[in-house]
């Protein structure tokens, strides 16, 4: 599958399941390489910088494990901050009301595609 020069395939769509393990990847942002992740929730793919809104630590408690046991919320392993997977909004914890930094992803041709350099808040 061809993608634009400002886009890249980060994984096959089938790799992400609803409320299941996420996929870690890195991207360039402000001259640095930063960790990020993609997850699937309610049939849609979402991606965020892998950084808690409270202090900049990675969320996953094991590599790729971002969801709580219910598979309904993202949770920071360090602080217990709880985020809505579709908005990145913290609903419980020390950064309540703050958001994860969302990344522009889409699915096409059976792949998850990241629009590099186009970070935005949901």
Q: What is the pTM of this model?
A: 0.90
Residue 68: CATH number of its domain: 2.102.10.10
User: Is residue 111 assigned to a domain?
Assistant: yes
User: Is residue 121 assigned to a domain?
Assistant: no
The pLDDT tens digits for 83-103 are: 999 999 999 999 999 999 999
pLDDT > 90 in the chain, percent: 80
The CA distance from 9 to 7, in Å, is: 7
Q: How many domains are there within the chain?
A: 1
Residue 76: which domain range?
7-115
Do 67 and 86 meet the contact criterion of CB atoms below 8 Å apart? no
User: Is residue 1 assigned to a domain?
Assistant: no
């Amino acid at each position: 599958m061809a993608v634009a020069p400002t886009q890249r395939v980060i994984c096959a769509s089938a790799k992400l399941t609803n409320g299941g393990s996420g996929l870690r990847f890195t991207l360039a942002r402000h001259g640095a390489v930063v960790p990020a992740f993609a997850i699937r929730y309610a049939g849609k793919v979402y991606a965020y910088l892998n950084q808690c809104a409270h202090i900049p630590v990675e969320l996953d408690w094991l590599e790729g494990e971002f969801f709580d046991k219910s598979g309904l919320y993202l949770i920071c392993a360090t602080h217990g901050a709880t985020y809505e997977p579709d908005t990145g909004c913290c609903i419980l914890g020390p950064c309540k009301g703050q958001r994860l930094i969302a990344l522009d992803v889409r699915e096409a041709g059976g792949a998850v595609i990241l629009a590099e350099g186009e970070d935005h808040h949901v």
